[in-house]
Amino acid sequence: MNTKASFFDKKLMIGSMIVIAGSAIVVAVIKGAESIHLPYIVAVLTAISLGFAEPRKGWFLALLQCILMLAGYFLFTSLPENTARQELENFSLYGSLILTFVASFLGGFIKRAFNT
C-alpha cells in the first residue's frame, strides 16, 4: 500500500518555528545595520539553514520567511524619518527577500548532495 505523506507534517511545523525566529532576527538586523552586508549575511544564513533542514519543502519555508519579514518590518517597526536611512532599510529588506529564495534552494541542494 502506497501512503502519501502529508505536506504539513511535524518537521515542517518545527521548520516554521525556526522561520519565525529567523524572520525576527533578520528584521532586527535590518533596523540596526549601518550597511547592507550584515542583513544580507543573516538572511542567507537563515535561509540556507531552512533549505538544509527541509530540502524538499524549503521553498514553502522561504516563502513564509519572506512574508513574515515583510509583515514584521511594515507592521511592527517604525519607518525612519531620514530618507537615506529609509532607502538603506528598503534595499536591505528587498534584497534579503531575494536572497532568502536563492539561499533556501542552495541549502536544499547541499543537503541532497550530502545524502547521496
pTM value is 0.89
Within a domain: 12: no
Amino acid at 47: A
Within a domain: 7: no
> What does the alpha-carbon distance between residue 92 and residue 9 come to, in Å, rounded to a whole number?
32
Within a domain: 103: yes
Would you state the torsion angle of the CA atoms of residues 108, 18, 16, 70, taken in this order, to the nearest 10 degrees? -100
Q: Domain limits at 48?
A: 18-115
CB within 8 Å of 51: residues ≥ 6 apart:
58, 61, 62, 103, 104, 105, 106, 107, 108, 109, 110, 111
Going residue by residue through the chain, which has 116 residues, state the pLDDT in tens, using 9 for 90 and above.
455 678 888 888 999 999 999 999 999 999 999 999 999 999 999 999 999 988 888 889 999 999 999 999 999 999 999 999 999 999 999 999 999 999 999 999 999 999 88
Within a domain: 82: yes
